[in-house]
Amino acid sequence: MTNVDIKKIEEISHAMRRKIIDVSFSCGASAHIGGGLSMVDLLATLYGSILNFKVTDPRWVKRDRFILSKGHGILGLISALRVTGVISEEVFNTFQSNESHLIAHPIMNLDLGIESSNGSLGHGLSLGIGLAIAAKKLSKSHHIFVLLGDGECNEGSIWESVMAASQFKLDNLTVIIDKNGYQNEAKKSKNIISRGSNKSNWESFGWETYNIDGHDIKEIYDAYTIKRFDFKPKAIIAKTVKGKGISFMENNNDWHHNRLTQVKYDLAIKELNCKDS
């Protein structure tokens, strides 16, 4: 990955953060901002250089599939879809408005690049496994990516899926864990159940597993592209910062779900504008 490639992804990340802040303010309601911001670099790299898709044909049959299991991270997903041109500015700006297709959690809409509906946590990986098995049975070459939250890894259904993916030798499946260290209700994940996003756990279930800095573009890219084992699913455990990019939101779980006032919006935009210069 060249410096030019890294710069391109950094620009996508920056544009995504700006979109998240803009639409969170304009929607006039509370939104899951912190968890959307933590996954920006992971999705900027995925959509900017890894995922095989067509902007002009979201239903293209050979496309890779991305499943957002951490459904409340919808702002991260729709900002990626907007910046890469899958959805229009007009559609994007309807977020959380009456009759919008874009609400607080993803609702499956292939025309908008949203592959699955996800609200209750713990279900996206099961869906991803089904898609991966189907692709194998049909001799299709597309890849399945699933993004989980570290708190979501407390769900028992996740570990049933983890066992199944290894059993079925799904090397066409990659899981990304957004390990930002927080869950809802101002709780740190490690104080609830701490082992769900540990590398040793995933490896013990037969997964090819990597620990990375979830804001280092080169590390993210390398983790997506490296392949050391055949017939093993891959897990990328990405250490991230909740609210990344906006100083008063970083590692502040008050912004798990919150509403931007004019003052806070102006502060956030000022920070982002400073990074432009």
Please give the domain boundaries of the chain with CATH numbers for all domains.
Answer: 3-276 (3.40.50.970)
What pLDDT does 42 receive?
98
Q: Is the pLDDT of residue 186 over 90?
A: no
**Band (114; pLDDT cuts 50, 70, 90):** very high
What pLDDT does 274 receive?
85
What pLDDT does 227 receive?
87
What pLDDT does 275 receive?
74
254-263, pLDDT tens digit by residue?
A: 999 999 999 9
**Band (165; pLDDT cuts 50, 70, 90):** very high
Q: Report the predicted TM-score, pTM, of the whole model to 2 decimal places.
A: 0.95
SS (H, E, C) the chain: CCHHHHHHHHHHHHHHHHHHHHHHHHCCCCECHHHHHHCHHHHHHHHHHHCCCCCCCCCCCCCCEEEECCHHHHHHHHHHHHHCCCCCHHHHCCCCCCCCCCCCCCCCEHHHCECCCCCCCCCHHHHHHHHHHHHHHCCCCCCEEEEEECHHHHCHHHHHHHHHHHHCCCCCEEEEEEECCEECCCEEHHHCCCCCCCHHHHHHCCCEEEEEECCCHHHHHHHHHCCCCCCCCEEEEEECCCCCCCCCCCCCHHHCCECCCHHHHHHHHHHHHHHHC
What pLDDT does 272 receive?
94
Q: Quick one: average pLDDT of 113-119?
A: 94
Comparing 120 with 172, the larger pLDDT belongs to 172
- Percent with pLDDT over 90 in the chain: 88
Q: Is the pLDDT of residue 184 over 80?
A: no
191-213, pLDDT tens digit by residue?
A: 666 666 789 999 999 999 999 99
The mean predicted confidence, pLDDT, of the chain is 94
